[in-house]
Structure 1
Amino acid sequence: MQSLLTDADLERIRALIYKETGIYFEPKKNYFLSSRLAQRMQVRCCSSFQQYYNELLYSHKETELSCFIEEITINETYFFRDFPQLRGFAEEVLPKYLERKRRARDATMNIWSAACATGEEPYTLSIILQEMIEDYANWDTEILATDIDRHVLRHARIGLYSERSVKETPIVYRQKYFQRTADGWQLLANAMQPVTFEQLNLVDRVSMRRKRGFDFIFCRNVLIYFDDDSRKKVLSCLYDALNPGGYVFLGHSESVGRITASFLLERVGDFLCYKKPATSATR
């Protein structure tokens, strides 16, 4: 099946993926795309690329196009991934932010985990908040977790994880927030309660404009899959979604410096984070 795919076919697929998701697959990813296309063509009993491409274009977007996008998105994650950054958030950024909120008599905390995959990141943030906020019970905390992939969201809502997913989770947290079962590690209700999951495409401008009022946004290891134009659009939406003084956290190898000057750059330990000015200027 893969041998039937031409370079022109793959270019059409790359263009469609980019249009729908903002992700651009370079030609060096041709083998990966070819294998995923072949799998879906076989599942859909399509005898030619054109037949399958027509199905992608004209079937309802909740059917084959969504299934194909789910096949090509990468969902590598685990609890407490990039621990030094999370520690900096928990021990340096969060306490100062909480003090500012307390002075303003504001006991709300809203966090957005963008591209949350199978849920390890938002649940990690739930644990961190409960451990770091002494009067946690007095706070109204909400964590929105979004991803384009419906399959991983179904997994995330169940909250059952393998040994690999919890490999970096401190033992004390495993004992406090998980239950060991025959099938793996089941999150307890105390960790799951603040988290709400929602399907969202980060380049869907209409849906993104509805996101407002966040204190922190974690969008880690996502922008590396976008080109500069898509990154700029996503970062603009993240900026608008933040409260003044709020922060966005990116992956270790990601930077907004040459994409936008809207954020203030802050160094916390050995990593960088990006802050929306407390008094936002018009961009």
Structure 2
Amino acid sequence: MTAIISQDDFLVFREYFYRKTGIRFESSKRYFVDKRLIDRITANDCASFREYFTRLRFQANGEELQRLTNLLTVNETYFMREEYQFDCLTSHILPELSEHLPTDKIINIWCIPSSSGEEPYSIAMQLLENWPMLRNRDVRLLASDINTRMLDMAEEGLYSERSIRNVPPTWRARYFSRVGDMYQICDELRACVEFSHVNLANPVEVRRQHAIDVVFCRNLLIYFDDLSRKEAAESLYDVMSPGGFICLGHSESMGRISPLFTVRKFPEAIVYQKPWEES
């Protein structure tokens, strides 16, 4: 017998998932959420939503919540997405940081969410191809996501033709090899990125990072409400170095989220900066 998710069940679960992840599902997403809940209720041999929800909340190791989170988080991405920000990174952001930071300071770049790895690997290619100072500067490229299935895919580094469609042909030849109808990213790029599991709505997990100089947090906060966006922005601010930059998605504006950052307008992109000196 197929479990039924009532309106009250949906609202109870929506509030619980929001507290855990910062993501709030609108009523228009009801079918999407219900289908995945029913799949997990069936997989756990539970007779009802209530039985499953009790197990979900009180499971000590949190494995079921992680499985459900993997099903409910959106991961649409591809290589060189909104690449004008990558151009801004190598043309303006990194040169400015290099001018102000000690020469022995490692520049930390953090992508959250990393999804299946297309964004951090795009940044790695951009640095190798378009930032000559990489020969003289140490850069650490970090990437995190709440979805462990996406992290596994990112570390494997195997992509479809559609995913790499915007990669320049010369880059494709240099950094990818054909494996059947897929493309395997080279070991050099895979070694450039450190992947980790981080829930942006959990300040304790965010604080595992520190001295971050550039954050790419693109097209994630649109799934948060005003409060969780503000809290996420504050968490990111706390782990960023003075003078650090944050890049959001094209439809997102830090000005509507938090007053902590200064707007910086470069020819390629609008980004946001943590002040060099905190008041």
Q: TM-score range by the shorter chain?
A: over 0.9
RMSD: 1.7
Distance 2:55 2:267 in 1: 50
The equivalent position to 1:123 in structure 2, one of 115, 121, 124, is 121
Inter-partner Cα distance in structure 1 for 2:178 and 2:105:
33
Q: Is the 2:103–2:137 contact (alpha carbons within 8 Å) kept by the matching residues of 1?
A: no
Cα distance between partner residues in 1 of 2:64 and 2:214: 34
Aligned runs of 1:100-115 on 2, under 5 Å? 100-101=100-101, 104-106=102-104, 108-115=106-113
In structure 2, distance between residues paired with 1:47 and 1:176 = 53
Query: Can you list the C-alpha shifts for 1:146-190, whole angstroms capped at 9, x where unaligned?
Result: 011111111111111111110111111111111122251111122
Quote the residue 1:6 is aligned against: 6
Report sequence identity in percent.
38
For residues 90-133 of structure 1, the C-alpha deviation after alignment (integer angstroms, 9 at most, x for no partner) is: 323233333334xx323522110011110111111111111233
| 3-state SS, counterpart of residue 216 of structure 2 | strand
Amino acid corresponding to residue 9 of structure 2 in structure 1? D
What 5-or-longer segments of structure 2 have no aligned partner?
none
Q: Is contact 2:3-2:47 (8 Å) kept? A: no
Matched residues in 2 for 1:2 and 1:237: separation? 41
Deviation per CA, 1:10-60, whole angstroms, max 9, x where unpaired?
001101110110100111211111111111112212221111111111123
Structure 1 residue aligned with 2:265: 267
Count of residue pairs brought into register by the alignment: 279
In structure 1, give the amino acid aligned to 2:110: W
Contact 1:117 1:156 in 2 (8 A): yes
Q: Displacement, 1:139?
A: 2.8
**Distance between the aligned counterparts of 1:61 and 1:270, measured in 2?**
45
Aligned partner (choices 165, 169, 172) of residue 171 of structure 1: 169
Structure 1: tracts of 5 or more residues without a match: none
Note if contact 2:247-2:271 (Cα within 8 Å) is conserved in structure 1: yes
Return the TM-score normalized by structure 1.
0.93
Partner Cα separation in structure 2 for residue 86 and residue 135 of structure 1: 15
What is the CA distance between 1:61 and its match in structure 2? 4.2
Deviates more, 1:164-173 or 1:84-93: 84-93
Shift of 1:135: 4.3
Contact 2:3 2:41 (8 Å CA) reproduced: no
User: How do 1:154-169 residues align onto structure 2 when only pairs under 5 Å count?
Assistant: 154-169=152-167
d(CA) in 1 for partners of 2:61 and 2:72?
A: 16
Letter in 1 for 2:60: H
CA distance in 1, matches of 2:79, 2:197: 21
Of the three residues 204, 207, 214, the one matched with 1:206 is 204
Question: In the alignment, which of 132, 135, 140 is matched to residue 134 of structure 1?
Answer: 132
Per the alignment, residue 75 of structure 1 pairs with 75
Contact 2:4 2:38 in 1 (8 A): no
Asked if structure 2 preserves the Cα contact closer than 8 Å seen for 1:126 and 1:192, the reply is no
Shift of 1:84: 2.1
TM-score (norm 2): 0.94
